[in-house]
Every structure is written in structure tokens, then in C-alpha cells.
Structure 1
Amino acid sequence: MSIPATIQQASGPAIHVRGLDKSYKELRVLRGVDFEVARGSIFALLGSNGAGKTTVVRILSTLLKADAGTARVNGFDVVTQATDVREAISLTGQFAAVDEILTGRENLILVARLRHLKNPGVIADDLLKRFALAEAGARRVATYSGGMRRRLDIAMSLIGKPPVMFLDEPTTGLDPEARIEVWQAVKELAEGGTTVLLTTQYLDEAEQLADRIAILHEGRIIVDGTLTELKQLLPAAKVEYVEKQPSLEDVFLAVVGRTGEDTAN
């Protein structure tokens, strides 16, 4: 799967956030959130449920107004230039927003037509190939696995080639194989030039994907850096000989893969 580089509409960081505050009555959800996301990178906003991750994404995607602070996406202010921001982004929520009655190809064509793009069929076929869904393109989405639905959802978000993509908990509820499929799709996006802001509560997901990781806790960014920089916050590890045992994920993938090969033969 190879995704072409997107057109960058502004210089500087793709996302620039300073002093974001948001409260719901007496509940203060965000407390002065600051961070920046470099273009063409994957930035993980890591935190437990209720930490404020989705609130940040909703503010950056112009679905919610902050009580204080500023945010710019692709060089545009999320309040005063909201229309420009919406044209520069795509948003994939926690659950796949696909029409199960339609086929995968029909879902893609529908979005392309809504965006008033030329040759929607060509666009749909191209995305089906890139996301390894060509053979399933004529099938109704109701027959798709969780990983296939999520890949289709991400493909739909790419129509129009937005330079910035928000993925809010993209692997929630997926099995190990489907999670790995989505991880590969996200890596391909960044390699093609798309800036990805990923929210997750899974530590391994942030570790696998992110160029930089920010930990959001009780409405504040408490640390922000590369994985290497974050590991340096802890004391140096002692060098000891430990026999490495396979993880449950290693066992699962090995067994499932071997079963699949036997079945194919």
C-alpha cells in the first residue's frame, strides 16, 4: 500500500496548541494543554478514559469551542478560520462510520461524490487497492471483519487528500490481527506525508506508532517527547540475563497464521 504525499497548505507545525481550557459546568476537563505536531509525523495523545483526549480532538476539528487558549491546524485558527480547518482535516472516530448496507466501493464513491470530486469510481478503486480491500470491494460492508471496516473507514477519511488526520481511539474493540492491520495503515499514511494525531489508551499502540508521545492526565500534558526521551525519565535499566518468553500476542499470531496456511493448502 502506497499513499501519495498530501499537499501542504502552510509552513510550520501541522498542529499548534497553546493553553487550551475546557470545562463542563464544575468539571474542568482541560487545564492549559500545550503541544505541537510536526508535519508528516504521528503524534500520540496517550491517556486513560476521561483524561480529555476526545475533547482535544473535538476542539481541533472545530466540533467544540475551548473556553480559553488557541489552536491552529495546518496554519489555520480553529475558531476564526474554522472552514479552512475543516477542509484541511479528516476525523475518524472511535467507531467505524461506514454504511453496512452498501458495498465497500459504494461507500467510497458516496463520499467522493459528497466532496464533489471528479471520477469517484476511479478514486474508490484506487483506495480499495491501497488498503488491500480490492477483492472485498463488491461485498456489502456488513460482511466485513472489524479490521476491514476500520481500514475502509480510514480510506474514506482520505478522500480529498486532507493533510491532517485525527484518529480517535482507532483500534478500540478490535482483535490483535485487526489492530496490526490498522497500525500498518497508519504508518503508511505518515510515510505518504499525512500528519496523524492519534488518541489512544493503549501503551503498546503509542509505542508502535508514534514519533512523539504526550501523556494527558487530569486535563494536563504531564510529559511530551519521543519514546527514547520518555524512557530516559526512569532510572537506567540493570543489565541482566533474562530468558525471553513469547508473548500471548506472539502465540496468537503464530497459531492463527499457521492454521491459515494449513487451510490454504
Structure 2
Amino acid sequence: MFENKIYLSLSLLFLLLLSTIKKIYGKEEKNEFYYGDSNFTLKYLTKEYKVEIIKNNSTECPFYSSGPREIYRINNSDDSPSTNENSVVTICDVSFACHRDKCIYYKSPFTTFFINNNTQHSIRFRKENNLNKSLIIHSCLKKDEFCNSSPNDVKCTSNSQCFSNLCDKGRCVINGDYPLKLCRVAYDGDENFSMGCGLDINESCSDHQDCDTQYCSSYARICFNSKLTYRFSPMYQYIIISIGFLVLLMLSVILYLYYINDKPESMSGDDRFSFT
């Protein structure tokens, strides 16, 4: 009886260990993302790059492509009802990250980060032709304490590990000298494919069209994702509140001075009771 209990315990322990190994392996397998160098420039991608369409499985995607991707085309034309069937177009999907005029390709089912519990989490990409090298493409706002703040998030130890070339306390942060633009396949609904390029979230912007998300925050003037929550340090919040208070105080003083200068001089007591 005692030996049976030992055997049962060892069996359960072995199964638990096996399931743990599978879970860890599956997690590692899921988190393998790759990047590599390219000779493309930002100007070439936006002006001249031709998205490859796969026809009859005869096209082999280039090495920098993440593979075939099906695009569902919905035909709403009334001109030719007989040919108004929806169709599927297969392309070689590609994604690039650029700053200044240097572009690298990356392969990920997400963008350069993923969202969990409304916070940003950067992805570590391994170089496809040299797996010992890695790169963090996404950058956080330096003052945002939520971004990449989990102990399990990928961390940088040097500037060279960040595409922004700026590592701050274990996080890759925005570098104004190296704004990040993402270039991905854009589709206008009529089988016209091109590369659409826009600034990544957290980068400074002046218009919605500047951003990959098509949303430039009018308050913070950064490219924004509505699914995200930002948390700034108390010191930064105090500075913002102090600036707001000073602005209100200055406006109050200006309005008061304007009111005093614009107010007609009070008439004397004798003038108030004079009759003509």
C-alpha cells in the first residue's frame, strides 16, 4: 500500500512537471518574434514599394515577409450585379519600422507591442539571421509609469537594445531625435494595396494623419490609442496642476486690470444731483 502511494505521488509529480514544461515551451514558442535589416528607405516604402499579390500559389513571399495574408474584398458595386461576388485576395504581408531613413522589417501578429489590462507591453524581437541579437522596437513615454512596468516585461540594459537608441531605467523610451514610424500594408477596398506609414503611439504629432492609429491627442499632442491607460508620476501631475493654476491666476489678473481700466470714473457727489 505504501509503495502504491509513492508510485502514485511520483506519477502525479511527473505529469505536473511535464505539463509545466509544455506550458513553458508553448509560452516561449508563442513569444518568438523576429526582425532584420533591410535596404528600404521610408521614402521608397511610401512612394514606390509594390505589395506582392499571390495568384494560384505561384508567388513566393520575400524573406522579410511574415507570410501570406488573406484580404477579404467586399464588392458593393451596382454596375454589374452578376460579378458582385465577394472575393479573397492573398498578399505577402510585410511590416517595417523606420526612424529617419533607416528601416528594418519585423514579424509579429501584433504591432511592436501588445496591450494587456489597458497597458502597453513591449515585445523583444530576435534578429532573424543572428538569434543572439535582440531589439525592442516599441518605446514608452518616459513619464508614463504604466508602460512596460510589469516585472515580467522585457527590459533593456543599454541604448543599443532599443530602436529609439534610448534606454532609461530598463525601459526603451521615446527619443525625439529618432521618431518611430510603422509601415504596414494599406488597402483601399478596391484591390489597391500600398504601404501606409505613420508614427507609433507615444510619438509627438500635430495631426491625426501623422499617426499609425489615425488619432493624435489634441491635449497631449502624441499619437494615442484609446484602449490604453496612462499614469504620470506625481511630480509631473503637480507640475501640470501648478501650470494650470498659474494660467488661471494670470487670466484673473488680466481680466481684473481690464475691468478697472475700462470702468468710467465715478462722478462726484455734486455732479450726481445736478440738473440741466
Q: TM-score, normalised by structure 2?
A: 0.22
Q: Which has the larger radius of gyration?
A: 2
Q: Which has the higher helix share?
A: 1
Does 1 or 2 have the higher relative contact order (CA < 8 Å, sep 6+)?
Answer: 1
